[in-house]
Structure 1
């Protein structure tokens, strides 16, 4: 019977996905204009202000495979935004760090994140925005989500 199947819009997950897609795609378009992907931005932001970091540590922190971090790093190295160095204590291991160009670029990209946030949520009263953030942070904690969203 057709009436036994709820409409898509009857699910909170539907609305979360609608908003998430809109916010994510708007931010991805802003980054694309700067020739950076969301995943590249996330890796750069994790490296910002940090000492040289191993790809395996980045993978663990970001919830990505080491191979995915290596592919992201290769793209960012080609753009001159990060550098790969031999680890000073273990010549076989490598570390990644932002270049001066990358270090200077992160605040510009962070401003785009702030702009996107404002464009998407400035219409909300501050109390509502804070409540939504609290609810979403609680859900993230409850589900044990530790990976940085990059898609």
Structure 2
């Protein structure tokens, strides 16, 4: 899956098709969650394909952006912001540290570290941001600027809804 596409049985890549002709989706066509999930799968596929050479996932990219804009953030706080388990953040940070992108600094509490991008991390993130912007422009290419902003606003509103 190095190119972001799932291999078929014969090794050929399979492109995710969010909507197939001739299929009756019934209630699924009326569900916001289903539409969001199908769009997410298409978006993630393009992201993986676009950034395969960088070995970058949306989660890793988001982590770097959060660390850059919140220097000294703790691993625990990063896990909360990302909505993932602390052990998942530790794994991400271990990988970044090995790659020279992030450094852990003592916080005064032996159980906690403050996270900072290294110079190399700042350099790489600048490159990643450019590639992610190009990916985002491509996947939203069918939307006007107003529609794009409206979609972002609507998705934020759904994301903030609490049952």
Q: TM-score, normalised by structure 1?
A: 0.79
Aligned position for 2:140: 121
Aligned counterparts, 1:2-151, within 5 A: 6=26, 8-87=28-107, 89-91=108-110, 93-143=112-162
From the two aligned structures, give the one with the greater helix fraction: 1
Pairs aligned (count): 139
- Which protein has greater RCO, CA pairs closer than 8 Å, 6+ apart? 1
Aligned position for 1:147: none
Deviation at 1:30, TM superposition (A): 2.1
Matched position secondary structure for 1:84: strand
Q: Deviations over 1:97-129 (max 9, x none)?
A: 111100111121111221111101122122322
Q: Deviations over 1:45-103 (max 9, x none)?
A: 1101432222112112222221111011111111111112222x335532221111001
- RMSD after superposition: 2.2
- Segments of structure 1 that go 5 or more residues without pairing to the other structure are 145-151
Matched position secondary structure for 1:33: helix
